[in-house]
A and B are shown apart, each in its own frame.
Chain A
Amino acid sequence: MASTESEEPRIERAIDGDGEALEELLRECGPRVVAGISIDPRWRPSLEPEDVMQVTYLEAYLRIFTLQARTMAGFRGWLARIAENNLRDAVRALQRDKRPEAHGRAVRAGGTSAETLMATLVDGEATAGSIAAGREAVSRLRAAIARLPASYRRVVDELDLAERPVAELAAELGKSPGAVHMLRSRAHDRLKELLGGATRFFYDSP
């Protein structure tokens, strides 16, 4: 049985891209990570542990190559950290939903929704206006969106580009609003990586 295999080679295989090995690891560690997820009662109607784990598993597949540990405890800690981050981001977004901060509401300062998204991704400090004219950047953004996993792509398309409300999309996808926020947050992280960060844009002169 797979679970009897010694840990290190299996983790090595997972890191090397063996989906089967990673699946086994996730099945073994997942339940303990789920058990460790504690959601504040205020947010339970909008977020369930299963939502957190769905995105956590996806992130695990996308990021397994970054894992440094070679023990089960290390793997579990790594997975738990991803889950914690997901939960934290979802709760932050839900808090924002409840009472939006002024600067959050005003990210958009003219321009297309893609430009606004670009402003969000490139630099939280940058004004949308300073980004808006970067049509070139927007075309890169679109290429990067095309490289997202389907579930991430969907939320970016629907929320950031079509500017639909989270609640509406959540209902349509049969997910909780917290799950949708989480997907969006992770999608933004991934987009930032695909875009290479703001500094790269600065240096990309032909």
Chain B
Amino acid sequence: MNPATDPDSFAPDSDPIRKARAEVEGGEVARADVSSSIEQPGDAIGRYKLLQLIGEGGFGTVYMAEQKEPVRRRVALKIVKLGMDTRQVIARFEAERQALAMMDHPNIAKVFDAGATETGRPYFVMELVKGIPITEFCDESHLSTKDRLELFVKVCRAVQHAHQKGIIHRDLKPSNVMVTMHDAEPVPKVIDFGIAKATNQDLTDKTLFTEFRQFIGTPEYMSPEQADLSGLDIDTRSDIYSLGVLLYELLTGTTPVDGVRLRSAAFEEIKRIIREEEALRPSTKLSTLGESIGSLSRARGEEPAALVRALRGDLDWIVLKALEKDRVRRYETAKEFAADIERHARHEPVLASPPSRVYLLRKFLRRNRGSVAAASALVGVLLLGIAGTSSGYLRATEALRVAEDQRSAARRSEQDALAEALKQEALASFFRETLFSTSPLFGARGGTESTVTDLLRDASRRLEAGALADQPRSRATVHRALGDAFLHRELPDEAVAHFSLAFEALGEGAGDPLTLSHIAWELDRLAHDKEGGLTVELDTDLLRTAALGSLEPLLVAGEREAVEELFRWSAMLFNSGRLAEADRALSRVQELIPALDRRLVPIVEYARAGVLMRMDRIGEASALYERIAKSMQQGFEPDDDAFDFFEIALGFWVHGSLKAVGFTVPVMEDVLERFRRRGTGTLMQADLESNVVWAFWREGRRAEAAARQREVVDTARGFQRNKVFLGKQLALLGFMLHGTARHDEAFEAFEEAKRLLENHRGEAYFFSCEGVTLWHGMQALELFDHDPEAAVEPALEFLDNLGQCLSWELEGTPYPAGYLESLAQFMPTMERILSAWEGLDPTVRRHPTALRVQGLAREWIPRILVAAGDPSVSHQKVNGMVWGVLHLDPLADEHLALVLELSIKVDEATEHGDSSCLETLARARFLSGDVHAALACQQAAIDIGGVSSGAAAEMKTRLESYKASAGRR
């Protein structure tokens, strides 16, 4: 017998196969008893006889039961499932009972009784609602739009009643609004307060409801704030949102976001969709339904066109007001919501209205975040260097990603319903065959990376073999989908192949110019993405020319989508450094936009000014900035909508050109004060405050800035959900404390910032660049003196991050002051650590990152000095740059001469009254060999005073070192 196949020849202890088998078969895999209810119809619980199981959730079971006394009636009895009676579940159960008991409204199910079984499992007894979900009821009864609205108003009143009792439902959806008939009248009943929450009182003292937040709600009906899952800040306006979704569904037969799409999305994507994607107007949604609008209108007894007309206008705005992502903009109460519907019914003016000018602009900004951000980030917000508005930073880092999202979310322009249906069928069949005919490996690991890729490749092969050959549109759609999928799996070569084939298929005449342009855009982006990992050569010039050429007729016709598409092209061209082309595209947009929408003119001009700045056409850019600034000032109001304007204004302020038109620190403070008086948007306030603080810092009011930044941090601690914001504020505090020589406190702040920010490296790269980079620098410094070896890792992290900071976004921009300041603070010690590595590990010493950073820093000196010589750059910024350069050793003689010249100019411009400028001049003179003049300047800087004690001590230390050097000479 072959020992390899003789089971008896293997000792169980040493044989791996036997061990594996024993572990699986030998009862090692515990079979947990999945708990379920043990009650059966016919059993009695208290004085109730269970008749029929009518519902079952994760934790509770609902029976129809019969009550014998004191009255004989049918009731619903809800009981916690056996095995699910944990402390939390019981508490939640108790909450529902209490919530229901507090309410007495004809449209809310009543609670009659409550108790516990002999084994202690709680139950409660409530009114038996024999109805069907409101949406089904409306469709089955062929209710007209008017009747649906009447019914919905009753639901609003029930919800209003709950809100008045301090209860938020948190899970309003059709199946929780049942409709029953009472005397031939439909009566809606709101049920299932199982996840309700008290607004102003404790429903139970047994637990916190936020503990359940992961389990609550139904995504289609969930408000953006619920989707955040923080559970800390949900109020009655969350129910208003859900009511809005319900009304949307009653009117259009569908929810704003498709449930199937939501359920197939990953967890984070679900949250993103809920938070970010705007609902189509109900009337627009109806128009996109194709043939199914026929059955929908039949169910209402109305003509399709009449149905669309009925929704267009007031009802569109009413629904969209309830569905606002920002709850401040929703109806305040369910009563107000209902009242607006009633006003509409009476043909009176409604509260909801088409968006205002400012609102439209804000929407535009949001929709075109990628484009606007790409321009504004680099020329405006980025100029802040180490600080800046958090949203600005996020925009900068996410610009491309957002643009990609826009691309994938771009609307299909095909309107032909029949062709669409055929295409869908062809696609469905293609994917069905691909999914089920191939890849036995697919089941092996439940769809791992490699097997999904195999599957995609199978699909590719099927296309190559001729699938969908006679259907160019479908083939293009599949190629595009596969391109997206390969791109998602970081296989850009294969993605490019599919995108190219999609372009080719559409080029056969089957595609509309916008789709063609989207694909060309994607290919062009990939071809120019240096870090995208593309290994094939891809020349996209022809594609781009063809795509933009095909857009031209639409542009001439003034098609808005085409103009926006060109705007997106300009952002991508700008991002990939093709400035002349970006400028050409933008100048065309600038030409077209006034006829389309005058309100968008400043936005486009702003983007163009950014491109001009990058092209070093400073004069033209500045003129444009001032023109925009003036036009903005005329309509500037410090309300929520104006925040985006303010952010842009801040960019101008940093650039310095706004000083000329009055956007100074006092103006910012004034705006801040007005925000405060409004008492809204506390996070926004804190963000603004932080910007004002940063302005102080840049103005040289450093001690004051550090003190106020600490207050910002305290405020930020209140925003539990926004760890990134807190982390960023802490990093900024650390930077300021370090800059005022309060090293211990700075270290603590950095440490905390790092803890918060490291989790967000991907999504907010800047934060890691600044907060985490500086933290690593600090850590390296701290460790170096007593444990040089341990300092190596943080030093490497520091250099690595800083190298990326320098090379990533700043290349080509003339304003690297913030990073240079960081570099200046840490470089000397890093150099020491680097040299100390010689004794530690030769490979580490030659770490390419370290060399790259040093090389970069030196390579940058000439550019920095040129930038610093620009008259439009503020004295503080020049001072910061020069101070940074003065720490990059060795410094070439010609650079030193330039630095000295700049330091003298700045000192003169500040009339010898700025201690930090004097210190810079002192160092420049010292390095130039004029030690006595250096001593005089340093002493003058000290004499001015007004700095923290730590900073004063540092200044004195420097003075002493100059003196010692003078003595040696």
- Asked if A57 and B762 sit within 8 Å, CB to CB, the answer is no
- Asked if A125 and B25 sit within 8 Å, CB to CB, the answer is no
Query: How long is the Cα–Cα vector from A139 to B267 in the complex, in angstroms?
Result: 20
Stretch of A37-45, A63-71, A161-169 lying at the B interface = A63-71
* Closest residue of A by beta carbon distance from B772: A102
Does A157 touch B at the CB level, under 8 Å?
Answer: no
Query: How long is the Cα–Cα vector from A137 to B215 in the complex, in angstroms?
Result: 9
Does A91 touch B at the CB level, under 8 Å?
Answer: no
- Asked if B217 and A146 sit within 8 Å, CB to CB, the answer is no
* Closest residue of A by beta carbon distance from B446: A193
- Asked if B20 and A54 sit within 8 Å, CB to CB, the answer is yes
Query: How long is the Cα–Cα vector from A147 to B34 in the complex, in angstroms?
Result: 11
Does B715 touch A at the CB level, under 8 Å?
Answer: no
* Closest residue of B by beta carbon distance from A20: B7
B44-92: which residues lie under 8 A (CB-CB) from chain A? 57-60, 86, 88-89, 92
Query: How long is the Cα–Cα vector from A135 to B231 in the complex, in angstroms?
Result: 14
Does A6 touch B at the CB level, under 8 Å?
Answer: no
A133/B30 contact (C-beta < 8 A), A19-B21, A67-B440 known: no
Give min CB distance, B261 to chain A, whole Å.
Answer: 13
Does A155 touch B at the CB level, under 8 Å?
Answer: no
User: Which residues of B are found within 8 Å of A50, using beta-carbon distances?
Assistant: 16
Does B133 touch A at the CB level, under 8 Å?
Answer: no
Does B206 touch A at the CB level, under 8 Å?
Answer: no
- Asked if A133 and B440 sit within 8 Å, CB to CB, the answer is no
- Asked if A30 and B17 sit within 8 Å, CB to CB, the answer is yes
Query: How long is the Cα–Cα vector from A57 to B24 in the complex, in angstroms?
Result: 10
User: Which residues of A are found within 8 Å of B28, using beta-carbon distances?
Assistant: 149-150
Query: How long is the Cα–Cα vector from A61 to B26 in the complex, in angstroms?
Result: 12
User: Which residues of A are found within 8 Å of B21, using beta-carbon distances?
Assistant: 19, 22-23, 57, 61
User: Which residues of A are found within 8 Å of B948, using beta-carbon distances?
Assistant: none
Give min CB distance, A122 to chain B, whole Å.
Answer: 7
Determine which of B5, B446, B797 lies in contact with A3 in the assembled complex, contact meaning CB atoms within 8 Å. Answer: B5
Does A143 touch B at the CB level, under 8 Å?
Answer: yes
A18-46: which residues lie under 8 A (CB-CB) from chain B? 19-20, 22-24, 26-28, 30-31
Give min CB distance, A204 to chain B, whole Å.
Answer: 4
Determine which of B32, B210, B268, B797 lies in contact with A123 in the assembled complex, contact meaning CB atoms within 8 Å. Answer: B268
A57/B195 contact (C-beta < 8 A), A105-B758, A106-B758 known: no
Query: How long is the Cα–Cα vector from A81 to B59 in the complex, in angstroms?
Result: 39
- Asked if B215 and A68 sit within 8 Å, CB to CB, the answer is no
A205/B171 contact (C-beta < 8 A), A85-B448, A135-B88 known: yes
- Asked if B270 and A199 sit within 8 Å, CB to CB, the answer is yes
- Asked if A27 and B17 sit within 8 Å, CB to CB, the answer is yes
> Among the interface residues A129, A150, A202, which one has the most CB atoms of the partner chain B within 10 A?
A202
- Asked if B32 and A78 sit within 8 Å, CB to CB, the answer is no
Determine which of B18, B268, B444 lies in contact with A82 in the assembled complex, contact meaning CB atoms within 8 Å. Answer: B444
Determine which of B4, B24, B216, B755 lies in contact with A27 in the assembled complex, contact meaning CB atoms within 8 Å. Answer: B4
- Asked if A202 and B2 sit within 8 Å, CB to CB, the answer is no
A69/B440 contact (C-beta < 8 A), A102-B761, A109-B755, A205-B218 known: yes
Does B969 touch A at the CB level, under 8 Å?
Answer: no
User: Which residues of B are found within 8 Å of A206, using beta-carbon distances?
Assistant: 57-60, 89, 92, 194-195, 215
Classify chain B's interface size: 35 or more
CB-defined interface of A63-104 with B at 8 Å, one 1/0 digit per residue?
A: 100111100001001100110010000000000000000110
* Closest residue of B by beta carbon distance from A70: B440
CB-defined interface of B340-378 with A at 8 Å, one 1/0 digit per residue?
A: 000000000000000000000000000000000000000
Determine which of B16, B18, B758 lies in contact with A102 in the assembled complex, contact meaning CB atoms within 8 Å. Answer: B758
CB-defined interface of A143-161 with B at 8 Å, one 1/0 digit per residue?
A: 1101111110000000000
- Asked if B762 and A31 sit within 8 Å, CB to CB, the answer is no
User: Which residues of A are found within 8 Å of B154, using beta-carbon distances?
Assistant: none
- Asked if A130 and B230 sit within 8 Å, CB to CB, the answer is yes
Give min CB distance, B361 to chain A, whole Å.
Answer: 32
- Asked if B17 and A23 sit within 8 Å, CB to CB, the answer is yes
> Among the interface residues A53, A126, A133, which one has the most CB atoms of the partner chain B within 10 A?
A133
A58/B32 contact (C-beta < 8 A), A68-B443, A81-B444, A205-B195 known: no
User: Which residues of A are found within 8 Å of B762, using beta-carbon distances?
Assistant: 103
- Asked if B2 and A85 sit within 8 Å, CB to CB, the answer is no
A118-144: which residues lie under 8 A (CB-CB) from chain B? 122-123, 125-131, 133-137, 139, 143-144
CB-defined interface of B736-766 with A at 8 Å, one 1/0 digit per residue?
A: 0000000000000000000110110110000
User: Which residues of B are found within 8 Å of A109, using beta-carbon distances?
Assistant: 723, 755-756, 759
Does A171 touch B at the CB level, under 8 Å?
Answer: no
Does B263 touch A at the CB level, under 8 Å?
Answer: yes
User: Which residues of A are found within 8 Å of B17, using beta-carbon distances?
Assistant: 23, 26-27, 30, 57
Does A47 touch B at the CB level, under 8 Å?
Answer: no
User: Which residues of B are found within 8 Å of A149, using beta-carbon distances?
Assistant: 23-24, 28-29
CB-defined interface of A180-202 with B at 8 Å, one 1/0 digit per residue?
A: 00000000010001000011011
Does B388 touch A at the CB level, under 8 Å?
Answer: no
Query: How long is the Cα–Cα vector from A27 to B4 in the complex, in angstroms?
Result: 6
- Asked if B211 and A74 sit within 8 Å, CB to CB, the answer is no
- Asked if B57 and A205 sit within 8 Å, CB to CB, the answer is yes
Does B212 touch A at the CB level, under 8 Å?
Answer: yes
A134/B213 contact (C-beta < 8 A), A125-B268, A148-B29 known: yes
Does B229 touch A at the CB level, under 8 Å?
Answer: yes
- Asked if A67 and B443 sit within 8 Å, CB to CB, the answer is yes
Query: How long is the Cα–Cα vector from A150 to B28 in the complex, in angstroms?
Result: 6
Does A114 touch B at the CB level, under 8 Å?
Answer: no
Does A173 touch B at the CB level, under 8 Å?
Answer: no
Query: How long is the Cα–Cα vector from A198 to B219 in the complex, in angstroms?
Result: 13
User: Which residues of B are found within 8 Å of A117, using beta-carbon distances?
Assistant: none
User: Which residues of A are found within 8 Å of B20, using beta-carbon distances?
Assistant: 54, 57-58, 60-61
Query: How long is the Cα–Cα vector from A131 to B23 in the complex, in angstroms?
Result: 32
Give min CB distance, B3 to chain A, whole Å.
Answer: 9
B189-221: which residues lie under 8 A (CB-CB) from chain A? 194-195, 208, 210-219
- Asked if A136 and B88 sit within 8 Å, CB to CB, the answer is yes
* Closest residue of A by beta carbon distance from B268: A125
User: Which residues of B are found within 8 Å of A198, using beta-carbon distances?
Assistant: 266-267
Determine which of A2, A53, A148, A202 lies in contact with B270 in the assembled complex, contact meaning CB atoms within 8 Å. Answer: A202
Does B598 touch A at the CB level, under 8 Å?
Answer: no
Query: How long is the Cα–Cα vector from A58 to B19 in the complex, in angstroms?
Result: 8
User: Which residues of B are found within 8 Å of A30, using beta-carbon distances?
Assistant: 17
A67/B761 contact (C-beta < 8 A), A3-B5, A205-B218 known: no
A135/B211 contact (C-beta < 8 A), A23-B17, A81-B444, A123-B268 known: yes
> Among the interface residues A27, A78, A144, which one has the most CB atoms of the partner chain B within 10 A?
A27
Does B411 touch A at the CB level, under 8 Å?
Answer: no
Does B31 touch A at the CB level, under 8 Å?
Answer: yes
Counting from the closest, the 3 A-B pairs by CB-CB distance are A68-B440, A206-B57, A57-B20
Residues of B bordering A, CB below 8 Å: 1-2, 4-5, 7, 16-21, 23-25, 28-32, 57-60, 86, 88-89, 92, 171, 194-195, 208, 210-219, 229-231, 263, 266-268, 270, 440-446, 448, 450, 723, 755-756, 758-759, 761-762, 768, 772, 797
Residues of A bordering B, CB below 8 Å: 1-3, 19-20, 22-24, 26-28, 30-31, 50, 53-54, 57-58, 60-63, 66-69, 74, 77-78, 81-82, 85, 102-103, 105-107, 109, 122-123, 125-131, 133-137, 139, 143-144, 146-151, 189, 193, 198-199, 201-206
Interchain residue pairs with CB less than 8 A apart (9): A81-B450, A82-B444, A102-B797, A107-B759, A133-B211, A136-B215, A139-B86, A151-B23, A206-B60
